[in-house]
Copies of this chain bind each other. A is one copy, B any other.
Amino acid sequence: MDGRFLIAGERIATARRFQGCNPAAGVAIEGEFHVSGPDHVDRACAAADAAFDAFRETSPQARADFLEAVASHIEAIGEPLVERAMQETGLPRARLEGERARTTGQLRLFAQVLRAGRWAGVVIDSPLPARQPLPRSDLRQRRIAVGPVAVFGASNFPLAFSVAGGDTATALAAGCPVVVKAHPAHPGTSLLVAGAIDMAIAACGLPRGIFSIVQGPGNDLGAALVRHPAIKAVGFTGSRNGGLALVAIAQARPEPIPVYAEMSSVNPVILLPGALAERAEALGTAFVGSLTMGSGQFCTNPGLVFGVEGADLDRFVAAASAALAEAQPQVMLTQAIHVAFERGVETLSAGAALVGRGRAPDGCNRGQAALFTTDADAVIANPELVHEVFGAASLVVRARDLDQIARVLRTLEGQLTATLHLGEGDAEPARALLPILERKAGRILANGWPTGVEVAHAMVHGGPWPATSDPRSTSVGSAAIERFLRPVCYQDLPDALLPDAIRDGNPLGLPRLVDGELTR
């Protein structure tokens, strides 16, 4: 395992080292990783800036080919990538193989997005030389890459939201060079993927500076990266504290920049009376399946459930508690995450009644799932109860009636998702709740569970603060590319000086809005 990090194609060794840790065994993994310093951040950012103008003007076809090459090079690593990721994260093989497929699928989706061309946002208003009282100029708008982007690897998706994950794929698709701050929980996985990206760059003949990766424990490195003047946007998936810190740093720069931080969500699930009457037990079992998947380490984990108190809700809780009692303890990603989970469970214990617990841990860093209930008044009085506990912990809120559910929902912070379970007679109460949920969440589900975020054109993995730091954006799905683009208008430029995207004759074959009508 080569533990050197990569700056613009160059492997870098330093005197300081750190090791990966196997959370399943609680021991360090053999092999050392070189720690990057602020000077390396400087070099990576300077290389990204130097490569920016050339890279952003590569053809959409060239960038699509490149993204597909990255996907192929990741696949070509083969078994060592899955094994290393298993060691570093404690996640099972099937999950990591699925995540690898999601990662390469994302890269290939953005190749399609580039070829389809809507991303370029071409809008042309023809000149009106005879208009009175003044002629209208020739106006052409396209979107260009914002500049070098800092991407932070996420602990809970060592592939799909890390080095070549969604943020990197979208930034590169947009034409932005990327400097990754690797998550220290999976350094080997990160460097294997970084190597694949670098090989794809070389194979495609692109400037090496479009990708660098820095690594190390602690927060200084990430802070230096966000502060760097060459960096023009940030992608982050992680904790609320981490996200808020990066937003503060980005805002304090002489030139503030956008941070796309996906931070915190409890993903309320509302069990409407008809649904509970029809299938309380089945809902309880399915809920536990969603809650405990991946040890609950998903930003869309269902951490808050609402129902009207009564026998049907009792049946749901009983079924969920029974299913939970069979839930195997699963390795959590890091010791720190496990400790934070246990602390979160303690906080919930202090304010709500424990009604179910998963099987006892059979080793270190195992998360023992936990289910609590309380009433709606308690939640209104103690908002601490509805803060995210990262892991398989959830709170069932018993309300007096649907109005009280609506009242509590109105007090919630922004969420990534909100879910309605519907049965007979539930359409009317659902219709009353929807406007509240639309204000609160980026995605609204019916009769499903929020875990599982499809990579698709229509997906929104986003939502009002503090679910994300920018509710106008999504970090999953094809619209994610818009985070790293900005519009530029060209007025009366001679055709020979215009970029290909907006030249006469449409040499790139992009879809265009010409005088208000879509053409190609």
CA distance A489 to B257 in the complex (A): 26
Q: Which of A253-275 contact B (CB under 8 A)?
A: 255-258
Residues on A close to B: CB < 8 A? 53, 57, 98, 112, 116, 118, 123-125, 133-134, 136-137, 139-141, 144, 146-147, 247, 251, 255-258, 413-414, 422, 427, 430-431, 434-435, 438-439, 441-448, 452, 454, 456-460, 462, 464-466, 469-472, 474, 479, 482, 485-494, 496-497, 511, 513, 515-516, 518
A472 interface neighbour in B137, B255, B485, Cβ under 8 Å: B485
A487 interface neighbour in B123, B431, B462, Cβ under 8 Å: B462
In contact, A460 and B255 (Cβ under 8 angstroms): no
- Residue in B closest to A101 when the chains form the complex, CB atoms: B133
- Residue in B closest to A485 when the chains form the complex, CB atoms: B472
In contact, A471 and B446 (Cβ under 8 angstroms): no
On whether A147 and B439 interact (CB within 8 A), knowing A444-B490, A448-B137, A457-B125, the answer reads yes
A465 interface neighbour in B124, B255, B431, Cβ under 8 Å: B255
CA distance A464 to B511 in the complex (A): 26
CA distance A258 to B116 in the complex (A): 30
Chain B contacts of A479 at CB under 8 A? Answer: 123, 141, 487
In contact, A258 and B472 (Cβ under 8 angstroms): yes
A486 interface neighbour in B413, B471, B515, Cβ under 8 Å: B471
A414 interface neighbour in B255, B444, B472, B516, Cβ under 8 Å: B255
16 additional A-B residue pairs with CB within 8 Å, beyond A258-B472, A442-B487, A460-B488: A98-B133, A124-B458, A125-B454, A125-B456, A125-B459, A136-B456, A137-B454, A141-B459, A255-B413, A255-B466, A422-B494, A434-B497, A443-B488, A447-B492, A457-B515, A479-B487
